[in-house]
Structure 1
Amino acid sequence: MDCSRLEYIKNVNDDGDVWAYEGYPIGAYFRLNFKESKDTSVDTHAFKLPKGSLIILSQRPAGKNRYLTHVVELVNEGSEDEPQREKGTWGIFRWVKVHWIADFTDVSRIPLDKKERRADWGWFDTKAKLLSSKNLTDQWGSIDALRAHLREVFN
């Protein structure tokens, strides 16, 4: 997988011990949800994410560690997805295509988030966070070094 377009990491979750987006194989398309907030910052953020960017999905099922479970590509411009927005907590979404997915049949083979990124972030919302953030570049020296490492993880 070409990791040169890896730009973001995003927290996703589902209820209980279920893995979010588990049923979508490589090449499948799905609606990546963003949780509604009291202000407009989440929807503004979600619809400004650029088409073609790759996003790593990180999730933590109840009682487990946080894992890197998917790499997805934004397939539309935000302006194309915004009119489809729905009412409700998870009505904000962007269409994505799966480029990599973890093997959910063997949790020991799913990459641990903290181990692979070497940074501990607070996960308080569902906004996509830049991989080029200061927190990560302090750990890796550059986004290119992080991408090279992640290329090994996802291939």
Structure 2
Amino acid sequence: MTFATCDLCDAHEDKLAAGTLHVLPPIFASFGRKQSFCGPARTLKVFEDNVLVRATLETPGQGHVLVVDGGGSLRCALVGGNLAQLAQDNGWAGILVNGCVRDAAELNACEVGIRALATHPQRSFRKGAGDADIKVGIAGVAVYPGDWIYADVDGVLVSRSAL
């Protein structure tokens, strides 16, 4: 699918005004070989623990975007090169992390789109805590399972329906 977030915003000003289309703040860095990606959201809420992230990426992605609400933590990474490879191998369209990633060179070699706040060399804890398929908050925007995520070089959009 070819799209431009700028064009989507222009074409759907009514949805922006109605609050069914949101533009995330421009705080996310881009990783992975796919500069543009979109798909329905699968959501996780974790904090400095990536066990659920791995378990989810081990399942068939079917073109979905994994949205990880990591609470905005900048103290460790939730996604690294091995998980990006899982995402690529299992058909995920992309990953959006409200937190950090690591292994940037490995991420950039994968055919998947990734957005995250920053890089951090330390891996996360592995306790298995968190929730899946719930409403999460990403940079002040609510994201529900099934919402559509559109990301390209200009930004990231969250839409209640496919555009």
**TM-score after normalising by structure 1:** 0.30
Larger fraction in helix: 1
TM-score by length of 2: 0.29
